[in-house]
Structure 1
Amino acid sequence: MKYLLDASALVNIVKRGEISKLHDAATIDLALYEALNAVWKEHFQLKKIDRKTAIEFVALLQRIFSVIDKISIEGLEKEIFEIACEHELTIYDASYVVNAIKRGCILLTDDRKLAGKTREIVEVKSSREI
């Protein structure tokens, strides 16, 4: 595994149809919730996609999450909390960062704020950079 993807990168990769980019990647179990929430937001709040498209996207995410490596945060709670406090991150974002550090992976995120706050502690790339 070379990349640890957060939900923003994962959703954008899927939107662009670049599924092959997921070959050498993993994510954390939280990413499924965040990805589903992103689809819900685009459908329900932003009205960018209709219900049928949203459901098709959810089905695709379901298939991806059935095969992609998913990593648990269990046992890393203290480190996640410390990184969150030190770098002014949410616990959610810190969970991706700590797992990327622990596994020697590049953090793949399209969240510019997260990337900016963590570049000094983990290698970060956007989904378009791979």
Structure 2
Amino acid sequence: MIVLDASVALKWIFGEEEGGEKAGPYKEGHVTGKEPIAVHSLFFYEIANVLATKTRLNSKDAAEAFSLIWNFDLEVFGLGLDEFLEGITLSRQYGITLYDAAYVVLARKLGCPFVTSDRNLYRKLKDLKELRIV
């Protein structure tokens, strides 16, 4: 199992971006059952927000892109009080958003790698053993 963030999943849609070819194997591993993907419950909000506000897609295409990611049947984990508190600590310690910290918390909880394509986030967290970059 791996935890991946929205930046990687969005490369499945916008594969021509830098690193798009490296994101594909994660999708394939999940679809074939070789490497299940876990996300936290805020993941789909992040995906929808990017598609709604940060792309040039029209509403129909944005909805289709969102549906595509939704239908990958990712394993979604909620955050409890302990996870939020750990996330707040990580957020302050590394100067990252709570959304990003939640991925690290989930990876630690599940004992698996956290994969991102966000280079800025990677620079801030590069010393964490759970972290992988696409």
What TM-score range do you get, normalising by the shorter chain?
A: 0.7 to 0.9
Bigger fraction of residues in helix: 1
- Aligned residue number for residue 94 of structure 2: 87
C-alpha distance in 1, partners of 2:38/2:12? 13
- Aligned residue number for residue 113 of structure 2: 106
Please state if 1:31 is matched with 2:43: yes
Structure 2: runs of 5+ lacking an equivalent: none
SS at match of 1:27: strand
Report the RMSD for the aligned CA atoms in angstroms: 1.9
- Aligned residue number for residue 63 of structure 1: 71
Q: Which residue identity is paired with 1:9?
A: V
Taking every aligned residue pair, what percent have the same amino acid on both sides?
A: 28
Indicate conservation of the 8 Å contact 1:115/1:124, yes or no. Answer: yes
Corresponding residue to 2:62 among 50, 54, 57: 54
- Aligned residue number for residue 8 of structure 2: 9
Structure 1: runs of 5+ lacking an equivalent: none
Shift of residue 51 of structure 1?
2.7
C-alpha distance in 2, partners of 1:51/1:76? 34
Q: Which residue identity is paired with 1:104?
A: G
